[in-house]
Amino acid sequence: MSPTPSQAFLKPPVYRQLVTIAVGSLGSALFLYLGVPGGAISGAMVVVTLLTVFGLGVRIEGALRTAAMIASGVTLGAAVTPETLRGVVAYPLSLAIMTLGVVATTGLCSLFLVTVAGWSRSTALLASSPGAFAYILAVAPKLKADVPRIVVAQMSRVLVLMVVLPLLVVESGVSGGAPPPPPPLDPLWLVATMLALGGLAGLAMERFRVAGGVFFGAMLVSAAFHGTGYAPGRLPMPFALFGQILIGCWTGSRFVGFDWTRMPSLAGAALGSIAISIASSAGFAWIAASLLGLPFGAAMVAFAPGALEAMTMLAFAIGFDPLYVGVHHLARFMMLNLSMPFVVRFWLQPKG
């Protein structure tokens, strides 16, 4: 029996996914050649996004998505050292500041979309939430919210952050700077062990519906190996680039099925909301960096309202501690997924 259109959308043929990844790799190569910060990720994402505009790209799903998450997670975990783990004591206060930032950013963006753009309160709130996207799409019709407006605002934020944020961080002089001399390569048997154990841990976390579970589980396993010093070095560069390219392609492929014809009429409101979210996040990142002695760039990437996998990989690509960034994004997603049902119920309930 032939698959229905919805099935074809959810599970595109593997060969079409491979073609999408191959074309995305060309974008990565171009951006790396041009010296774009985080070029392996952003190049693949931009090119695959363009493919979706013309209906040529497909979603990266199934085994290839899982491979992308495991490879990226293990790559990022390799950046953890015993020295970086000593900085974990700074996380609780930083997480508290980030939580305040999420509340303020969501409120400011919602206020802008209601008062300036004229959106309904339900549409504005759901469009401004930096996470819980699956819940937002599920509840939007019940609240009579404008789903296309929500999707435009949410997906535009992902696209702008992935392209603009690394440029802002690097050009403002707050990047991670020149990397230290590279440590020796991990032996291949150890890399294979981390991939296997990381995949098992990630799939277990995914089963318990942890946001970005495969990615985060693999990262934690690799971080444990490297943070304890058991794994002495780093992963081969081709492997690291492979993970970054896959994450970029996967991020870009999320635009499959997106109605680009709505973009011109909604661009002003979406870009205004994005500008407010970036400015607000930067303000709270500056507070955290000042109080805790952290690099502002690392705090900015950690506080940015972007996708967990993409933001954590971006931190790695431009020289920041991916564990610090990943913990913050995971905490934000968990907080939003737990709190959004209550926010929707009480904040949007009819008055009077």
Cα separation values, 171 from 37, 175, 285, Å: 9, 8, 17
pLDDT at 337 > cutoff 80? no
Question: Where residue 184 falls among pLDDT bands split at 50, 70, 90?
Answer: confident
pLDDT at 267: 85
Report the length, in residues, of the chain: 352
Distance of alpha carbon 240 from alpha carbon 76, whole angstroms: 8
CA 258 to chain centroid, in Å, comes to 18
Q: Token match 């944020």: residue?
A: 165
- 192-208 pLDDT, tens digit each: 999 999 989 988 887 87
β-bridge mates for residue 185, sequence order: 234
Question: Where residue 285 falls among pLDDT bands split at 50, 70, 90?
Answer: very high
Mean per-residue pLDDT for 169-198?
Answer: 71
- 122-164 pLDDT, tens digit each: 899 889 988 766 567 667 777 788 877 887 888 788 778 777 7
pLDDT at 229 > cutoff 60? yes
- 10-20 pLDDT, tens digit each: 467 888 899 99
The CB-side HSE value for 196 (13 A sphere, CA atoms) comes to: 6
In this structure, what DSSP letter does residue 169 have? H
Sequence ranges of the domains in the chain: 11-176+192-347
DSSP SS3 for 116: coil
CATH of 11-176+192-347, one of 3.30.70, 2.40.128, 1.25.10, 1.20.1530: 1.20.1530
Question: Where residue 4 falls among pLDDT bands split at 50, 70, 90?
Answer: very low
CB within 8 Å of 186: residues ≥ 6 apart: 78, 194, 231, 232, 233, 234, 235
- pTM across the whole model: 0.65
Please indicate whether residue 307 or residue 65 has the higher confidence score (pLDDT).
65
Distance of alpha carbon 325 from alpha carbon 313, whole angstroms: 9
Mean per-residue pLDDT for 172-187?
Answer: 59
pLDDT at 20: 93
- 287-317 pLDDT, tens digit each: 998 998 888 888 888 898 876 667 777 777 7
pLDDT at 132: 66
CB 321 within 8 Å of CB 119: no
